[in-house]
Amino acid sequence: MGQREHVRVAVIGSGFGGLGAAVRLRREGITDFVVLERAGSVGGTWRDNSYPGCACDVPSHLYSFSFAPNPDWPRTFSGQEHIRAYLERVADTFRLRSHIRLDHEVLMMRWDGDELRWEIETSQGTMTADVVVSATGPLSDPKTPEIPGLADFPGKVFHSSRWDHDYDLRGKRVAIIGTGASAIQIVPAIQPQAGKLTLFQRTPPWVLPRMDRKITGVERWLHRQLPFTGSARRGLLWGIRELQVSAFTKRPNELGLIESLAKANIAKSIKDPALRARLTPSYRIGCKRILLSSDYYPALAQPNVDIVASGLSEVRGSSVVAADGSETEVDAIIFGTGFHVTDLPIAERVVGADGITLAESWKDGMQSLRGATAAGFPNWMTIIGANTGLGNSSMILMIESQLNYMADYLRQLSVLGGRAALAARPSAVGAWNRRVQERMERTVWKSGGCNSWYLDANGRNTTLWPGTTGEFRRETRRVDLSEYEVVRVLADSAAAAESVDVAS
């Protein structure tokens, strides 16, 4: 039997987080790494989500890496195809292809305390790594509710992130389940084709106009010839969003003006008072993610669209039955029901130092130190971990901050020398998360009167960061070794390890 491949770092996933980690590793002089990707191409969520109308709700110049600016964004809010193409260019520009292993799904990762390394079982074989950087992302595994009778539905069924492009919607009776960010893009995109479109809405979203436009040739030329103009544009977009944070995190009552604008957006297109009432949320704006669309409400006002202000409860043959008892016969059911965000499926595949999975460790809710490391899982890091999400700005900003932390983590291991691992102290993880949750109580996400996908089964917001992106960057600039134990293999016993208290 041949010897298993061993690498310094194994990165899981090739979306923004995984490709960003790969670029940063090369910049740190680390070339002994692989990027394990379960699919046949890079792109992460921007590869998987290819539904009609798919686009980003963050301005293009802010939704890109600071180290890889794109002067040629075609629109102020980019579509899925442009973002995916951008990620492909990043992989080529930074010569990442030789590190990427496509069609390598990670089946299990186990910490070997004797060897101080991770054993990684993939769909293409096994390997080992000193450090694992998990960049699978929270929007990678679709969540489809268990609906009685769904298995016997004779028509077409699929999730928005697994769109069946071979299925022709023209003239079909289509049911869309959910009213989140994907649904409000899908509805106006397919409404002109569908014979009848029925939207199942448990809770209406707040929707603001989407100020999207083509970026002119003059603007693109200027950004190419004078790169500082693109940086200035990015900086302005960032600064505006930083100033908005306090309303979400400290003074939710200040969001009243935004709420008035959203109500005006409804009234502009929806003239029927009864329908307008069904589409107007009863919770404070910002409690759920504020959505952007200028064609959602006009689409809902069309005669071939029905709004069912209730969730889907049952499927009877070719009919979908709402919780209010109404019944509609349809040809296709499309789920826009989101993803496993607070119960990450990858956590079932990570076995730590104590022999338990990360999912078991997180049974009472996700907890990670500075959004990166978890107690009981040495030399394991995550990009977009617990409480690193944003409600009003670009996740790329948070990803780059976590890449700074990853880089310093690896520097610390190099300085320590020899075979060593860093294990997050449970006390440090607990202290960090208590501080985050205390701050969370004042935010609109906890006090706004809604039940959002930000909250876990225990009602804790383990998804969002209750501060500015600038603050998070300061908190993750350096690894504080007092928050870790240094674990080494004893020279006289390959099967024993010692923990060194670096704080003493």
pLDDT band at residue 492 under the 50/70/90 scheme: very low
Q: What is the pLDDT of residues 433-461, one digit of tens each?
A: 999 999 999 999 999 999 999 999 999 99
Q: What is the pLDDT of residue 491?
A: 56
For 124, residues 6+ apart whose C-beta sits below 8 A from its C-beta are: 101, 103, 104
Q: CB–CB of 338/178 below 8 Å?
A: yes
Q: Which amino acid is at 406?
A: M
What is the Cα–Cα distance from 240 to 111, expressed in whole angstroms?
A: 43
Q: CB–CB of 74/215 below 8 Å?
A: yes
What is the Cα–Cα distance from 496 to 481, expressed in whole angstroms?
A: 22
pLDDT band at residue 1 under the 50/70/90 scheme: very low
Kindly report the pTM of this predicted structure: 0.94
Q: What is the pLDDT of residue 495?
A: 41
Q: What is the arithmetic mean of pLDDT over 154-181?
A: 97
29's torsion region: left (phi>0), alpha (psi -120 to 50) or beta? left
β-pairing, 312-316 vs 319-322, is antiparallel
Of the candidates 462, 475, 485, the one whose C-alpha atom is nearest the C-alpha of residue 404 is 475
Q: What is the pLDDT of residue 3?
A: 75
Considering the chain, what is the average pLDDT of its residues? 95
Q: Which amino acid is at 36?
A: L
Q: What is the pLDDT of residues 92-104, one digit of tens each?
A: 999 999 999 999 9
DSSP-based three-state secondary structure for 88: helix
What is the Cα–Cα distance from 299 to 65, expressed in whole angstroms?
A: 34
Q: Is the pLDDT of residue 499 over 80?
A: no
Q: What is the pLDDT of residues 270-323, one digit of tens each?
A: 999 999 999 999 999 999 999 999 999 999 999 999 999 999 999 999 999 999
Q: What is the arithmetic mean of pLDDT over 14-22?
A: 98
Q: What is the pLDDT of residue 489?
A: 83
What is the Cα–Cα distance from 7 to 187, expressed in whole angstroms?
A: 46
Q: What is the pLDDT of residue 501?
A: 52
Q: What is the pLDDT of residue 2?
A: 55
Q: What is the pLDDT of residue 494?
A: 45
Of the candidates 315, 309, 295, 279, the one whose C-alpha atom is nearest the C-alpha of residue 202 is 309
Q: What is the pLDDT of residue 92?
A: 98
- What are the φ and ψ backbone dihedral angles of 258, each rounded to 5 degrees? -60, -40
Q: What is the pLDDT of residues 101-153, one digit of tens each?
A: 999 999 999 999 999 999 999 999 999 999 999 999 999 999 999 999 999 99
Q: Which residues of 377-412 are buried (b: 16+ CB within 10 A; e: fewer)?
A: bbbbbbbbbbbbbbbbbbbbbbbbbbbebbbbbbeb
Q: Is the pLDDT of residue 215 over 80?
A: yes
What is the Cα–Cα distance from 121 to 101, expressed in whole angstroms?
A: 13
**Percentage of the chain lying above the pLDDT 70 cut:** 97
